[in-house]
Amino acid sequence: MRFAVDAHAIGRHLTGNEVYVRSLLEAFAAIDQDSEFVAYVSASGAEHQIPARFRVRTVASNPYARLGWDLARLVRQDKPDLVHVQYTAPLLTAVPVVTTVHDVSFLEHPEFFTVSRRTQLRLTVARTVRSAAKILTVSEFSRDSILRAYDIPPDKVRVVPNAASPVFRPIGREKAKKAVAGTLGFEQPFVLCVGDMVPRKNQTGLIEAFSRLVRNNPQFPHHLVLTGNLNWNTPRVKEAAAASGIASRIHFTGFVPDGDLLNLYNACECFVFPSLYEGFGMPILEAMACGKAVLCSNTSAMPEVADGAGLLFNPHAPADMERAMRDVLIDAELRGRMERLGLQRASLFSWQKSARATLDAYREAVAAPIQLHTKVRTAVPVHDRKQ
């Protein structure tokens, strides 16, 4: 069989979406020597991140050109048995579509999106879900959310979880600390957070909680390191840091490659993930795979991913977040137990296991009739639902 994959995210620092498709392609190359694969990329140099035996084709980086013309044209030329996309399929696709919908935050939390972006996603994802042969998602939480939002058969939606890349593993901590000190310019212990500077990642809440921690525990020498793409919301986060009273102890790294991120994970005292909403939360597993104690929000998919190996807190309550950080930083026994539990939890996930499940879905999709009539329900924002 020949499978085509929309890999336009590779090389564009699109974080979770990029890690997802790159990791799947690498796993496909390792476990499936019989099928042919075509990867559609748009970033310059992205072809070097595609497995050598895969065919690589270039599509426009502009989403309207890519989805409106380029992908459909190349699919007609390449004649794959199937095309796999994330969220949105190209127009007029003549082959079965498998789509990965990581979450439906654009329906459940529209306040996290611009009006134009959430409107676009509502329309294009609904169209894609209507026509897709199979829908993949990454957690039971996201599967339940998708089934609430769209009137589709439950067996059309399959959970195939993410994993941490093999890159992320325990390494010599002193070596990692030395590398980080050379990059960041300080040697004090630090708390790490990884996530793009978008409102739902809640860095402002973490900054408030961390400033409370420092004020209430002046003996703590810790700094806070925020790693992730800097974007339109960054000035708001930096304003919160400047107003915290401890701005000199808060550091922004911007996007970092996996090699630098490996050092950050291994050098930190603990990892905090204060997001308000996640369909999965891949940094949780990455930090666990590096042997770090993980503290994360008790909302959406994060309790499912951490599953008892992380310390949960209410991301809307800075005092709760502060308490979780203090407990882990003070109690070495608690921190060590969480580090061991995290390593065990991360080991249960692998990209090869996920790739096998994805290939199974591909083969079923090729044999399945395309369903054309799917109603879209109007999702009610979480904060407006009756509990």
pLDDT score for 377? 54
DSSP designation for 17: H
Q: Does residue 371 have a pLDDT over 90?
A: no
* Reported pTM: 0.92
pLDDT score for 379? 45
Mean pLDDT of the 162-175 span:
94
Listing DSSP states for 234-279 in one string gives: HHHHHHHHHTTS-GGGEEEEES--HHHHHHHHHHSSEEEE--S--S
- The tokens of 168 are what? 């992320």
CATH numbers and ranges of domains, the chain? 2-163+352-380 (3.40.50.2000), 173-346 (3.40.50.2000)
Mean pLDDT of the 80-90 span:
96
Is residue 180 within 8 Å of residue 263, measured between CB atoms? yes
Q: Give dist(CA 294, CA 276) in Å, integer.
A: 16
Q: Computed from CA positions of residues 368, 133, 305, 353, in that sequence, does the dihedral angle turn out positive or negative? A: positive
Question: In degrees rounded to 5, what are phi and psi of residue 218?
Answer: -65, -15
pLDDT score for 94? 86
Nearest to 138 by CA among 46, 19, 243, 290: 19
User: What confidence tens digit (pLDDT) does each residue in 2-35 have?
Assistant: 999 999 999 987 678 999 999 999 999 999 999 9
Mean pLDDT of the 204-223 span:
97
User: What confidence tens digit (pLDDT) does each residue in 61-74 have?
Assistant: 998 899 999 999 99
Q: Does residue 180 have a pLDDT over 50?
A: yes
pLDDT score for 16? 84
Mean pLDDT of the 225-249 span:
95
pLDDT band at 384 (very low <50, low <70, confident <90, very high): very low
* Helix ranges, 96-221 (H): 105-108, 115-131, 140-149, 173-184, 203-216
Mean pLDDT of the 146-167 span:
96
Which residues make Cβ contacts (< 8 Å) with residue 291, sequence separation at least 6?
Answer: 170, 266, 339, 342, 343
Q: Does residue 380 have a pLDDT over 70?
A: no
pLDDT score for 376? 46
Is residue 300 within 8 Å of residue 310, measured between CB atoms? no
Q: Does residue 166 have a pLDDT over 60?
A: yes
pLDDT score for 12? 84
Q: Give dist(CA 40, CA 55) in Å, integer.
A: 9
pLDDT score for 249? 97
Q: What is the average pLDDT score of the chain?
A: 93
Q: Does residue 293 have a pLDDT over 90?
A: yes
Q: Give dist(CA 264, CA 385) in Å, integer.
A: 39
Q: Does residue 386 have a pLDDT over 70?
A: no
pLDDT score for 264? 97
User: What confidence tens digit (pLDDT) does each residue in 247-279 have?
Assistant: 999 999 999 999 999 999 999 999 999 999 999
